[in-house]
Amino acid sequence: MDTTQFSAGILDWYVIHKRDLPWREVGLDPYRVVVAEIMLQQTQVPRVIEKYTEFLGLFPTIYDLAQASRESVIQAWSGLGYNRRAIMLQQFAQEVVKLYEGKIPQVPEALIKLSGIGPYAAGSIASFAFNRPEPAIDVNVRRIYMRYFHGRDEGLPMGREEEKKLYTLVKLSIPENKSCDLHNALMDFGSLVCLRDAPRCSSCVLRKNCGFFPLYTVEKEKVLFVAEKKVEKGVMENGRHIPNRIFRGRIVEFVRKHAGEEVSLEELGCAVKKDYVDADEGWLVELCLKLEKEGMITFGRMGVKMEGKEDGRVVLGLGK
């Protein structure tokens, strides 16, 4: 497989089309790259741009983040969603300070042992922060490689062997000293050209050698790009299925505004679910207890009423 031609095509495209993002400054403190990477895992770029600068204004160094109160970190994460990432990021900072004197390790094997770091984050930090030739395979990268080299769409399931082969292929395609640029290019290319639902194949600079291009027709597009969506665990709200993830975010948002106050479960329930009724109480308590277990909030019970049918009261706080 000619990975050289592929990488050269992507990098040429990137020179003209690259997005100007604050975490792409040359020589940036690796800590800042990590903050951006963790924020970008579940949040759209425009939202991250806004919060990234604000967050770093509050915690400009890895030491500031490690020493901050958990409450202030969760508070600062407001608006980014998936609040658990705030706790994991702080734990990551504390571990780096404790184990590596504040210097973020450069290799995926060491990174992956730290809190909140999975295979993708380990590769992306090694690549973006240190320009090491380590693959960071997210949905964009997977889709582009599977289409270009295998003429397949990424929606099809892949076994362990295929995953390994993909890893090797991506690694092989990283030109010397260009890991950071190539990964940035892939991110942009996946967001602007090789889109999941409607790839811009007819104007794509890679179409000549892309294995997927011959399959791309308007007719096939309809069949091939219907991604199967998993139904997330959740409950109905005003006739629509809403994932618990959304309600968890709303609970944390409520606690941000009412930390330390005594509120009834009904008040909390009505604030987070538009059609809240008494029958939802068990579900609500379960979500709160899970958030408490994760260290996100504190859920102080007033007496034992909350377990019964009466309107139990609770005192809420952000994780300590």
| Strand residue runs (E) in 164-238 | 234-237
By the rule CB under 6 A, 224 interacts with ligand SF4: no
Residues sharing a CB contact under 8 Å with residue 7, sequence separation 6 or more, in sequence order: 173, 174, 175, 178, 182
Residues sharing a CB contact under 8 Å with residue 50, sequence separation 6 or more, in sequence order: 79
| Six-digit token string for 262 | 């005594």
Cα gap 67→86, rounded to integer Å:
14
Considering only residues 114 to 173 of the shown chain, the ones binding ligand SF4 according to CB under 6 A are 144, 147-148
Complex with ligand SF4: residue 192 or 277, whichever CB lies closer: 192
Complex with ligand SF4: residue 174 or 201, whichever CB lies closer: 201
Name the CA dihedral angle for 56, 60, 65, 66, rounded to a multiple of 10 degrees. Answer: 160
Judged by CB under 6 A, the stretch of 37-45, 96-104, 205-213, 285-293 that binds ligand SF4 is: 205-213
Residue 56: half-sphere exposure toward Cβ, Cα within 13 Å: 18
Complex with ligand SF4: residue 110 or 205, whichever CB lies closer: 205
Q: Is 154 a catalytic residue?
A: no
Judged by CB under 6 A, the stretch of 127-135, 166-174, 194-202, 238-246 that binds ligand SF4 is: 194-202
Q: Using DSSP, state whether 248 is helix, strand or coil.
A: helix
By the rule CB under 6 A, 56 interacts with ligand SF4: no
- Written as one letter, the residue type at 220 is K
By the rule CB under 6 A, 193 interacts with ligand SF4: yes
Choose which of 35, 88, 137, 206 interacts with ligand SF4 (CB under 6 A): 206
By the rule CB under 6 A, 207 interacts with ligand SF4: yes
β-pairing, 262-264 with 240-243? Answer: unpaired
Choose which of 77, 212, 276, 299 interacts with ligand SF4 (CB under 6 A): 212
Give the catalytic positions in this structure. 37
Contact residues for ligand SF4 (CB under 6 A)?
Answer: 144, 147-148, 193-194, 199-201, 204, 206-207, 210, 212-213, 216
